[in-house]
Amino acid sequence: MKLFKSMAFGLAAMGALTAAQSAGAFEPTKPVDFVIMAGKGGGADKMARLMQSIVEANGMSSRPLVPVNKSGGSGAEALVAMMNASDPDHAIMVTLNSFFTTPLRQPGLGVDIMTFAPVGRMAEDTFVLWVHKDEGISSFDEFLAEAKDRGSGWVMGGTGSAQEDQIITNYLNDTYGLEIKYIPYKGGGAVAKDLAGRQINSSVNNPSEALGFYESGDVIPLVAFTDERLPMFPDVPTLRETGQEFAYFMQRAVVGAPGMSDDALAYYTALFDQVYNSPEWQKYKSDKSLLGDYLNGDGLRDYWQTQRERHETILRASGDIK
Amino acid sequence: MDVITLLIDGIFTALQPLNLGLALLGVVIGLFVGAMPGLGSVNGVAILLPFTFVIQQITGSVSSPMIFLAAIYYGAMYGGAISSITLGIPGASTAVATTFDGRPLALQGKADRALVIAALASFVGGTVSTILFTGAAPLLASVALKFGNPEIFALMLLAFATFVGLGGDDIPKTIISICLGLILSAVGFDIISGAPRLLLFDSTAWFSRGIQFLVLAIGVYGIGEMLWTINSTRYKTEMTEARITLGRMRAALAGASEAWKGTLIGSLLGFFVGILPAAGATPGSLMAYGVAKMVSKDPSKFGHGEPDGVAAPESANNSASTGAMLPMMTLGIPGSPTTAVLLAGMVIWGLTPGPRLFTDQPDFVWPLIGSFYISNLIAVVMNLAFIPLFLRVLRMPFTILAPLIFVLSVVGVFAAYQNIYDVWLMLFFGIGAFFLRILNYPLAPAVLAIVLGPIAEPTLRQSLILSDGSWMIFLNRPIAGPITIVAIVLILLPLVGLIRRRLLRR
C-alpha cells in the first residue's frame, strides 16, 4: 500500500514536472520564502506548515519552502513585504481574508491585490456559530431569543477587529436587531478556550478551531454560515435555510509576489495543484470541514475581484472605511 | 488502567532505542539552539518540524516526532542558561532572567557554580512539573479554563507588583523602567481597534510587528552589558578567572543545595504560569525571579550574584515549558510561542489537540509524558558533563570576548527575525541601556514589562469591554479579586514602610 502510494506520488510528480517544464522550465534556484500573513499557531500557520510538510515529505520541490510568519498589522506587514520582495520568483504567501480587508482599510499601504500572482486557492474555511452547552440553547431560534433578551450582556468573542468574526457578528446584530457585544482576541484558539470556560457566550470559530471542544461536548454548533450543510455537522442548518441570503467564507489561498514571472507562476500553480490533490491535504480538508475547489489563474483573480467588492460593501456599511 | 500503569507503559515506549535516540538527538540540538543567542526553542522546533513528518513515516507512530520536538524544547531551556552565564547574552528569551545573577556570578569567578546551579535547578523544575503534569493534567486544564481575561490581568498586575513592591531598588526608577518597557510594548498595531500605534518614521517595515522582546533583551544584556564591562574595566585588562577541577566541580554540586528556595519557587510558580494560556516560559522565569527576590531575607543581594537568582528563573523556565504543554494538549491552545509550533505539528501528524486527547490518543500522550522524564535526565547529565567546555569561553580575555559578543548579538537578532531593522533597534537599545545603567536605572523591570505588556494590555481592555468600563470586574470575581488585592497591597507596601520610617524618625 505504501509502495503504491509513493509510486502514485512519483507519477504525479513527474507529470507535474513535465507540465512545468513545458511551460518554460522554471525551477526555484534557492529556498522559497513562504510568507504566512498570521502568527505562529493560528489556522493559517498550521495550514502553511502542513503544505510545507507535504511538499517536503514527497519531495515535490527541489528547494525547500521556508515559512516566515509576518503577522504585523493584520497582514499589512506581509503584504508590504511581498510587494517589496527582491526576488518575486521566490516569494509566495498564504493568505486569509485580511488579504481583502487590510488593503481596503489601509489605502496608505498602496497595495493592489490584483497585482499578486494567483497561484492557487487551496480551500475555503467555513464559519459556524457556537455556544457553550450549559447555555441551555439548542437551536438558532433559541439563540436569537436569548441574545435579544440579554441585550449587550451577550458576549461574542472573535479574532481581531473589523475582520471575519466581527463582520459576521455585525451581520447578526443588524439583521436580527441584537446588541451582541463583540470582544476581539488575538487568535481563534484563545476564543475557543474562553468559550469552553464560559468567559464569553458565543463564538463564530472555524470548525478547525472549535473541534476539540466540540468533540468533548463542551460547545455545540447552532448554525453554519455556508451554502449547504457541512458534512461534519449534518444536523446543523445553514443560515440560508432560515431564509437569509448570507454566507461567509475565509479564503485559504497561496499567492505569488507581484511581478512574478509567468514561468514561475506556472511552476507554483502545478506544485500546489499537487499539494491540493495529495491524500494528506484532502484528509485535512475533510477533517476540518473546509470547502472549496482548487482555483487558479483567472478563476482565482475573478474570485478576488468579487471578494474585494463584497468586503468593500461590508466595511463601508459598518463604517470601518469611508 | 490507572495513571501509574499508563505512565510505566509510556516510559517503556519512550525507552525504545529509536525513541531514546530521538530524545538524545533532540536534547543535543536543543542545547545548541538554546545556547546560541537569538535562536531559541521556538526556532529549533520550527526549523525541524517538516523533518518530523519523515520520522512519522519511518516509525509509523505519532508519539516519536513529538518526543523529538519536546526534547529540543527541553534542551533549549537548559542551553539558554549557558550563554546567559558565560557571555552575559541571553541565549533565548526564556533565559533573560538568568543573566541577572548568573552573569555577576561568572564575573566573580564562580561561573562553575552558576552553571551547576542552573543545570540542577532546571532538572528539578522539569521533573517537578512533569510529576504535576502526570498526576493532574485534566484537573489543571479545568483550572486554566477558569482564568478569563480579568484573572490573567490580575496576575500580570501581581507580577509588576512583585518588582515594584519589594525590589529593594530605587522605587521611582523601577516604576520609570516599567513604564519604558510598557511604552515599547505598545508599539505596533492595536489588537482591539486594529489601529496603528507609535509607528515612528511612518514605516511599516520597522514597527508594524511591534518591538520584539528579544531585540530589547539582546540589546540590553548583550550590547549594553558589553559596553558596561568595557567602561568599567577601561584601565585594566581583566581576565575572568574560571578554573575547573574535579574538586571545584564537586564543591559546586554540593553547594547547589543552598539555592533550594529559588528552585522550589521557580518549579512551582513556573508550572503554574506555564499552564496559563498566553503566558509561557519567559514570563514564568521573570516572575519566579521577582518572587524569589521578594521572599529573600536579603533582596539587595539579587543582581549581584545570588544563587537563588539563578535557580529561580532556570527551574521556572523548565517547569513552565512542561506546564505550557498542558493547555496545548488538553485545550488545544498554545501557552507559549514554542507550543504554538508544536500544536501546528500535532495537527500535521493528524491529531486533534483538545479535551479528548487524553482519552482518544493514549498512545500519543503517555509515551510523550514518559519522554519528559527521560529527556530531562539526559539533558542534566549532558549539561553537567559539558560545563568544563563552556567555562573555556570565560578564559578568553575580554578583548576577544567583546567582539565575539557583538557579533553573536547581531547575528542572533538577525537570525531570530530576518529583519535588518531589528538589528539597528537592538544596537540603539544597547546604547540606551548603557546610559540608563550609568544613571542607576534597574533594567530588569523594563524587560519584564515588554514581555508582560502585550499580555496585560489586551486582557485589561477586553475585561473593561466585558464590564462596560467598570473596574470592579477585577475585584468582584472570585479568582481575580484576591489576586488584585494582593497586588495592590504589594505596591503599597513600600509606601507604608516609608511612612513608618518617617514616624520613627520623629
pLDDT digits (tens, 9 = 90+) for B424-449: 999 999 999 999 988 988 887 888 78
Helix (H) or strand (E) holding B130: helix B111-146
Closest CA to A66 of A15, A36, A99, A32: A32
Strand partners, B70: none
Confidence of residue A21 (pLDDT cuts 50, 70, 90): very low
Cα A73 to Cα A101: distance, rounded to the nearest angstrom: 12
What share of residues in chain B are helix, strand, coil (percent, to 5)?
80, 0, 20
pLDDT for B233 equals 67
A164 in contact with chain B, both atoms CB, cutoff 8 A: no
Chain A CB contacts of B46 under 8 Å are 40, 67
Chain A CB contacts of B339 under 8 Å are 41
Q: How do residues B478-502 score in pLDDT, each as one tens digit? A: 989 998 998 898 888 777 777 777 7
- Alpha-carbon distance B372 to nearest alpha carbon in chain A (angstroms): 22
Three-class SS of residue A112?
Answer: coil
Note which residues in 215-254 of chain A have CB less than 8 A from chain B: 215-216, 218
Confidence of residue B206 (pLDDT cuts 50, 70, 90): low
Cα B109 to Cα B322: distance, rounded to the nearest angstrom: 32
CATH class of the A128-242 domain in this structure: alpha beta
The answer on pLDDT for A102 being more than 60 is yes
Inter-chain residue contact B352 with A152, CB threshold 8 Å: no
- Does residue A254 contact residue A92 with C-beta atoms inside 8 Å? yes
What's the angle, vertex CA A248, arms to CA B191 and CA A116, rounded to 5?
70
Note which residues in 28-47 of chain B have CB less than 8 A from chain A: 42, 46
Cα B495 to Cα B502: distance, rounded to the nearest angstrom: 11
Cα B34 to Cα B94: distance, rounded to the nearest angstrom: 9
Superfamily of domain A2-125+249-318: Bordetella uptake gene, domain 1 (3.40.190.150)
Confidence check on the interface: ipTM exceeds 0.90, yes or no: no
Confidence of residue B219 (pLDDT cuts 50, 70, 90): confident
Give every strand in the sheet of A91-95, ordered side by side.
A65-69, A32-36, A91-95, A249-256, A117-126
* Range(s) within chain A of domains with CATH label 3.40.190.10: 128-242
Closest CA to B406 of B159, B146, B221, B169: B221
Compute CA A243 distance to the chain's CA centroid, rounded to the nearest angstrom: 26
| Ramachandran angles phi, psi of A203, nearest 5° | -145, 165
Q: How do residues A4-18 score in pLDDT, each as one tens digit? A: 444 444 444 444 444
B345 in contact with chain A, both atoms CB, cutoff 8 A: yes
- Does residue B287 contact residue B269 with C-beta atoms inside 8 Å? yes
Chain A CB contacts of B337 under 8 Å are 40-41
> Beta strands A155-159 and A202-203: pairing type?
parallel
Please tell me which of the candidates A49, A212, A287 has its beta carbon nearest to residue B49: A49
* Range(s) within chain A of domains with CATH label 3.40.190.150: 2-125+249-318
Closest CA to B115 of B307, B258, B289, B378: B307
3-state secondary structure B441-486: CCCHHHHHHHHHHHHHHHHHHHHHHHCCCCHHHHCCCCCHHHHHHH
- Alpha-carbon distance B204 to nearest alpha carbon in chain A (angstroms): 6
